[in-house]
Amino acid sequence: MSKEKTKDNIFRKLFSDKDLFKMFLDDFIDRDWVSEIDKDDIEVLPTEYIDLIGANRENDIVYRIKLDDEEAFVFIMLEHQSKTDFLMPFRLLEYMTRLWRVYIDENADESENKPFKLPPILPIVFYDGEGNWTAEIEFKDKVKHYEIFKQHIPNFSYKPIVLNNITIEELIEKGNAISLILAMDKIKTVEDLKVIKQLKEEYWEALKESLKHSNILENVALAIKHLLLKVNVPEDEIEEVLKVFKEGKVRTMFQMIEEYDVQKVRSEEKAKAKKEIAQKMLRKGIDVPDIIDITGLDKEKIEEIKKEIGQ
């Protein structure tokens, strides 16, 4: 399985967790109604529901929410690709009308009556690709001559959440499990790890409280495993790191991760230095057995270096 496919699966699993999803809404959707719902008001709809509305995307998620004893839907599209999808406003409109179609069919008898109303839908695009998200946010901006025909053309806006525009510092300020996961997704260098390592004790205490539910713990562990592979932790050491995490020693875990990445950098620098020494020795005509003895490189590597320098 490719790294991108693995990432799709991880994020779909994470965003399908009701506790993590509620944290996500609290952190990124600044609406009064968000604070009024709790986990029991939230239902993640099965993959078959996605198929039913014709999205044909494994990494899209539909939630049904109880809002003042009425239904509402949240539709999340998880975008991991490197470039912006400029047809996004139209694609979302398609999925929204299909979602309403399913709702009408499920309430066939009531839908014939005048008091019947369609449930609201909040469309969200979560984008963690490179660069900014530059597609139009309002549907009207995708239609020619909208100003002339605006009375006859539908309009809506979706909520774009662009991970690249949110700093690691901004994420960790939120102090919960979903913010930790998103911060980990942004980690690219040892310097990024240092930002997390230097967090105050209050953050770790808040995070431990956030991780009390075992299902959250397991899902965050899944995201951590993806990070460990990304920052070059040897696979045979991953279980040891996860064990430390599950014991609640999150700060210690990040210190371990930093050590692993620093070791890899040092190893790469050492290998580069050996290669440069071998190149100089070959150019001076020193015998291969002597180069092997001094650098510790094997014969195959020396032969490869010889070809690179044209010998």
Tokens representing residue 177 in the block: 């499990």
How high is the pLDDT of residue 136? 96
CB of 37 within 8 A of CB of 67? yes
- Flag whether 66 is in a domain: yes
Boundary (domain end) residue, out of 165, 192, 226: 165
Name 213's Cβ contacts closer than 8 Å, sequence gap at least 6. 19
Together in a domain, 155 and 14:
yes
How many CB atoms sit inside 10 A of residue 194's CB? 11
- Flag whether 157 is in a domain: yes
Boundary (domain end) residue, out of 165, 194, 209: 165
Together in a domain, 278 and 155:
no
- Flag whether 149 is in a domain: yes
**What is the Cα Rg of the chain in Å?**
26
Nearest to residue 297, comparing CAs of 99, 256, 251, 306? 306
Range of the domain at 138: 3-165
- Flag whether 105 is in a domain: yes
Tell me the CB-side half-sphere exposure of residue 97, using CA atoms within 13 A. 8
Tell me the CB-side half-sphere exposure of residue 106, using CA atoms within 13 A. 12
Together in a domain, 276 and 151:
no
Q: Do the strands 42-44 and 60-67 form a parallel or antiparallel pair, or are they unpaired? A: antiparallel
Together in a domain, 146 and 278:
no
How high is the pLDDT of residue 56? 56
18/216 Cα distance (integer angstroms):
9
- Flag whether 196 is in a domain: no
Together in a domain, 137 and 13:
yes
- The per-residue pLDDT string of the chain (311 residues; one tens digit each, 9 = 90 and over) reads 445 555 666 788 888 888 889 989 999 998 899 988 988 899 998 877 777 666 556 668 899 999 888 899 999 988 877 788 999 999 999 989 989 999 999 999 999 999 999 999 999 999 988 788 999 999 999 999 999 999 999 999 999 999 989 988 888 888 788 888 888 788 776 667 667 767 777 777 777 777 776 677 787 888 778 777 766 667 777 887 788 777 777 767 766 666 665 445 445 556 777 788 888 888 878 888 878 877 778 888 888 888 888 76
How high is the pLDDT of residue 25? 93
Boundary (domain end) residue, out of 165, 181, 212: 165
Tell me the CB-side half-sphere exposure of residue 307, using CA atoms within 13 A. 5
Together in a domain, 142 and 288:
no
- Flag whether 293 is in a domain: yes
- Flag whether 290 is in a domain: yes
CB of 290 within 8 A of CB of 278? no
How high is the pLDDT of residue 262? 47
How high is the pLDDT of residue 154? 92
**Count of domains observed in the chain:** 2
Q: How many residues does the chain have?
A: 311
Q: Give the 3-state secondary structure of residue 156.
A: coil
Together in a domain, 150 and 283:
no
Calculate the dihedral angle through the C-alpha atoms of 224, 226, 228, 233, rounding to the nearest 10 degrees. Answer: 150
- Flag whether 27 is in a domain: yes
How would you list the strands of the sheet with 70-79, edge to edge? 42-44, 60-67, 70-79, 121-127, 159-162
